[in-house]
Each structure stands twice: as structure tokens, then as C-alpha cells.
A and B are shown apart, each in its own frame.
Chain A
Amino acid sequence: MKSIICTFLLLLVVESSQAQMERKRSIENLPDPELFLSTSLVTAQTVSIVPKGEIQSAISHSFGSIRSGWGDLFGLDNNAAVHLGLDIGIAQNLSLGIGRTSVDDVFDLRFKWMPYRQNSSNSRPLSVGFYLNTALKTLEERRFNYSFTERLSYHSSLLIARQFGQKITLQLSPSLSHFNTLISQDNRPLQHTVLSTLLLGRLRLNERNSLSFETVPILSDTDAIHHWAFSYEIETGGHVFQLFLQSGYLFTEQYIIKQTTDSFWDGDIRLGFAIHRVFQMKKNK
């Protein structure tokens, strides 16, 4: 009897020792939602931020007005505006960036802080952060001899966004912009400081493709022409490609708010594209 039980016991032990381990997930929580594919849409900054230890380069290119028709291939032959940008994730929720726009030779230095980000458990239902940039117009003016300070302009935004379900993200960015120097073209009183609200949205088509828009209702100037842009975004392998239609050809927030003169809905539209590429600052061990 004893030998039968011992044999049975050994068989069970051998059987149990040959079984595969139970597979346990190492990550139980769902990843936090990705509200936007890139850190900026056509011009406006989103709540997305360059992660710590990464560098993002961005090239934006806007062609001429599509009004020019077939003769200039709907603006593709015409003068282009280019913005080059470089952003560095210096801490988990903090990035610094520098950029240059070819129009007016504007350099911009920017700072983004995203301390509060929407998470998958919904215990944080919104993403909230702050964005600040300072721009320096370096274009030589024959009429005036500007000082360094006179060439400066500033923009600050509170970034508030939420993803609704899996598909839609909306962002509201109450903003304050200021130009140290403005030139009066038509004897209208100059408004150096402008209060506006950037409105951004994204429709997620699938994991790699999105449609998005940005516009700027300007609260403090009812006569202002509002900037509009629509973008189709493709994400692949650390790159985000954007194909966009926008009014104007400016790429710095205070400039699109204050100096947009083309009306998107009157057909003053330009075709453009942007490429965002992320690099690793430090290689994995």
C-alpha cells in the first residue's frame, strides 16, 4: 500500500514540475492616454511634451497660397515659410525648446511644463500645464533701428486638455501675447497685449493616424482675422508627419494671433507639411 502511494506521489510531483509557469503580467495598468500625437499641431503647442531624455526636431514648411491656381501649382511654386525647431525633455514634465521661422527671421525660445496629466484610471481627468515663449525678430528694418528689447515678443498659455473616450481630444489654451513693438499701418490704435484662446482638437482615426485642427478666437479684438489650420497626422517609428492647410505662413503663437491677415474661410489657404522626429539623448545600457 505504501509503495503504491509513494509511486503515485512521485508521478504527481514529476507531472507538476513539468508544467509551464503561470504567465503573470508585469504591467497591470493601462498606459495613460495619448492626447495628441505631437508636441505641437501646425503652430499651437499641445499638452504633449517631449519625454525626459529625448530630443525632438521639427521642420515645418508652408507653401504659397492655393489661390494662385494651376499656374503656380496651387502655391507649391511660390515663396515658402520654414520653421525649424528643437525641443529637449529636461525633466519628466519639463521641456525647453528653440526655433526659427524664416518669415521675419524670428527666433523663439520656449518652455513647457506639464505637471498634471490625464491618466487611464481617470483619477486625473484633465491634462493641465503651462507654456511660455519669447521670440526675437532679427530681420533688419531699413526704416527703423530697433533695439534688442524692441524686437522681442512674448506668449504665454495655460494648456487644458481632455481626451473624451478613445477618439476625441479637445484643448483650450487661454493665452496672453505681447509685442514690444508694433507698426501702425492704418492709424488704428495699436494693441500691444492680446488676450486670446487657442482651441485645438484631434480626432483619432486609428493608432497611427489622426485629423486635427487649431484656431484662435481672439477675445480682445473683435475685428481680428482668426487663424485656422487643419492637419492630417501620421505616426510611425518615432516620426510624426503632418500634412496641413492653414491660413497664413507664420509659425509662432504670438505671430499667428496678432499678425494673421489671411482668412481661411475666404480661401486664403496654404498647403504645408511638418516632420517631427524624436531622438534618444542617452543610449540604453
Chain B
Amino acid sequence: MKVLKTIKSSNSWYLTLALMLVNSPITLLAQSYYAENGTANFTSSVPLYEFTGTSEQLTGLINLTDHTVDFYLDLETLDSGIKKRDKDMRLTLETKKFPFTEFYGSLLDSVDLTNSNLQTIRTRGNFSIHGVTREIDVEGVITVEQNALHLKASWVIRLDDFNIVPPSLLIVKVDQIQKVSIDIRLDKQ
């Protein structure tokens, strides 16, 4: 009778542990790195002129256990240095309807945590902006730091691929090519 009671108790302990792990925001077995203060730049060009919308509120997660990468940005945080241009950018990107841009994908290369030199890594995943999602490949560089990963990456998108109609000024139009770059230091969870 006593033996049976012990077994039941052990089962309930496992179940409790399982529930705790499933509900925990931090996965104990995963080796993940996270930040919510990364920098994202969106650079646009018009003839003879270039301007950049910058945000310091890029949120990112890199999970080295399952090789996933997940980044998102609230587009309303982009600041181009001119309030009227910020408003124009928000209208163009329809941020009320589509507030986030995001990239969710997988690491194609492994990160060597013992190597403190620059490591080139490739990712493939879905990039979304303006309600349109497209699969893209992004190459970046990672530096392994003390309990952190420092990631820099950049890529270009065509605005018409994402149904974004660039604003125009009389006959001068914003270029279809937009440069996107990120710089983020992710801390170990």
C-alpha cells in the first residue's frame, strides 16, 4: 500500500514539472538569446538624396537549439528625423493596419560559441511587411560575446514585392529598392 502511494506521488511530480515547463516563458532545455532594444534601419532613396528611418526597439530571439530566428519591429517606432516624413512613412506602410515587420526563419549555419571571431551565418525565412510575406535569404555576421550574441545583417527589398506604393513628390519618386539593416546584441536567456 505504501509502495503504491510513492509511485502515484512520483507521477504527479513529473506531471507538475511538465506543466511548469510548458507554461514557462523560458524554455529550460533551449539555448536561446533574446533582446528588445536592437537597432533597425530602413533606408530609402530619392534622386540625389537618401534618408533612413531608424528604430531602437527591434525585438529578436535566436534559438541555437532548434536553429530558429525570430525578429519583429513595431513600425510606428521608426524615426527619420523629420516628423512629417515619419507620418508619410507610416501612411505608406499603413502601420495602423500592419503595425509590425517581422522575420521568422531558420539558421542555415551553426554558431560556434567557442569562436569569438566574426562568424558569417546564413538564414532563410519569411520576411513580412505591409501584410505581405515573402521567403528571403539573409546573410549576417555574428560575434560571440560574454553570454551574448552580437548580430549584424542587412538585405534589400523591393517595395512593389510587398505592395508598397512609394510616395512621390511631383515627378520625383522614392526608389523601389529599400535597404534594411539590423544591429542587435542578444543576451543569453
Contact = CB atoms under 8 A, between A and B. Distances in A.
Interface in A5-24: 5-6, 8-10, 12-14, 16-18, 20-21, 23-24
Contacts of A8: 18
Contacts, number: 107
Q: Is the interface of B mostly helix, strand, loop or mixed?
A: mixed
Given A10-B29, A237-B174, A20 B70 contact: yes
Contacts of B52: 284
Contact of B104 (A10, A20, A25): A20
A257 B105 CA distance: 64
B61 A21 contact: yes
A27 B70 contact: no
Given A9-B18, A236-B169, A14 B84 contact: no
Nearest to B169: A237
B100 A23 contact: yes
B74 interface: yes
B81 A13 contact: no
Nearest to A6: B14
A282 interface: yes
Interface residues of A, number: 39
B66 A14 contact: yes
Interface stretch (B20-28, B110-118, B136-144, B146-154): B20-28
Contact of B14 (A2, A24, A237): A2
B29 A284 contact: no
Q: Which of A1, A16, A23, A237 has the largest count of B CB atoms less than 10 A from its CB?
A: A237
Interface residue tally on B, bucketed by range: 35 or more
Contacts of B18: 5, 8-9, 12
A282 B65 CA distance: 43
B132 interface: no
Nearest to B54: A284
Contacts of B97: none
A105 interface: no
Given A23-B102, A26-B74, A16 B27 contact: yes
A13 B74 contact: no
A97 interface: no
A237 B86 CA distance: 9
Interface in B19-53: 21-22, 27-30, 32, 52
Nearest to B102: A23
A284 B79 contact: yes
Contacts of B65: 17
A207 interface: yes
Given A21-B61, A53-B81, A5 B76 contact: no
Interface of A: 1-2, 5-6, 8-10, 12-14, 16-18, 20-21, 23-27, 34, 51, 53-54, 207-208, 235-240, 278-280, 282-285
A-B residue pairs, 10 tightest by C-beta: A26-B74, A280-B81, A17-B30, A17-B27, A9-B18, A26-B57, A5-B14, A238-B85, A27-B76, A238-B84
5 contacts: A9-B21, A24-B59, A27-B74, A27-B76, A278-B84
